Amino acid sequence: MVKKNVIWLASYPKSGNTWFRVFLTNLLYETIDPANINDLAEASISSSRKVFDDYTGLSSSDLSFDEIDKLRPEVYKLQSNESNELLFKKVHDKFYLLDENKPLFPPEISLGVIYLIRNPLDVLVSFAYHSAKPVDKMISSLNNPHFAFCDKNDKLQNQLRQIIGSWSDHVQSWTEQKQIPVLVIRYEDMILDTFETFKKAVLFLKIEKNDEQIKKAIHKSDFKILSEQEKEQGFKEKMIKSKYFFRKGKIGDWENYLDEKMKNEIVENHKDIMIKFGYLDSNSHLIF
């Protein structure tokens, strides 16, 4: 019997995915102390090489990127089948179809998608810091329809290739697909209207928790707590070159780093999607 129990936590990198996963862990397990950032409810990203190798019994290093992609849906089905609870999977890949128009993420096991979106100007700055790259060099990644993680064969990465595309490509791929129910959550709303935003997600996921439980989980997921945990014990998802994963998390921090030319290049490339999700008004003036 096929189970419909997988929730995809999808986002372009640096859009609030990890914060949301911390909240979920605090909500589901209700421990006295805040959840440990290195021991979240679902630790493996959907592109984990180790998980792929363990479930297939193959060495992914012997396979091509396309051969791996064809097997990834089967891995997710196996994980779904052996889980008796909701299975949350972090995703940075965009939503795309394989041969025979089969999605990389199987709809038949998918209960829904939480898609986390953030102003691309703030994403740019945070992503540049996370990747230890100059901001102006990172602009080309956000604008690149062929952008991908781990798509080089010069060394073996701990994650599989992830086709990401441009920022707009990524947003459209998940929010416009019709095969899996999707709830879009803006990072800015997570900060400005925290309780209502997280409650909306809990209702979408049909998790039976009351308002007080949601508020407690939010309190234990405070950015300051996450930052302190990282300083004390490190964070395994941080890239080696960056100093910290949990940096600032502020809205509009891009204004401290981007000049007018940089800002305009992002806005011009992503204007339509920025207007659609409330980052620009109809006259292309910034709201955040």
User: For the domain that residue 203 is a member of, what is the CATH number?
Assistant: 3.40.50.300
Residue 80 lies in a domain: yes
Residue 25 lies in a domain: yes
User: What is the domain range of residue 56?
Assistant: 6-276
Residue 251 lies in a domain: yes
Q: Which of 216, 185, 178 is nearest to 201 (CA)?
A: 185
The pLDDT assigned to 44 comes to 63
With a cut of 90, say whether residue 113 has pLDDT above it: yes
The pLDDT assigned to 248 comes to 59
Catalogue the E-assigned strands of the chain: 6-11, 87-91, 110-117, 148-149, 162-163, 182-186
pLDDT in tens, 29-68: 877 777 666 666 555 689 999 999 999 999 999 999 999 9
Report the relative pairing of strands 148-149 and 162-163 from DSSP bridges: antiparallel
Residue 108 lies in a domain: yes
The pLDDT assigned to 240 comes to 46
Residue 224 lies in a domain: yes
Residue 129 lies in a domain: yes
Could you write out the DSSP letters of every residue in 55-87?
HH-S-GGGS-HHHHHHHHHHHHHHHHHH-SS-E
Mean pLDDT over 179-185 rounds to: 98
- Helix/strand number for the chain, H first, E second: 11, 6
Residue 242 lies in a domain: yes
Question: 44-58, 177-191, 265-279: which has the minimum mean pLDDT?
Answer: 44-58
Could you write out the DSSP letters of every residue in 225-264?
HHHHHHHHH--TTS-TTSS-SS----TTGGGGT--HHHHH
With a cut of 90, say whether residue 158 has pLDDT above it: no
In this structure, the number of other CB atoms found within 10 A of the CB of residue 76 comes to 21
Domain count, the chain: 1
pLDDT in tens, 186-215: 999 999 999 999 999 999 999 999 999 999
Residue 263 lies in a domain: yes
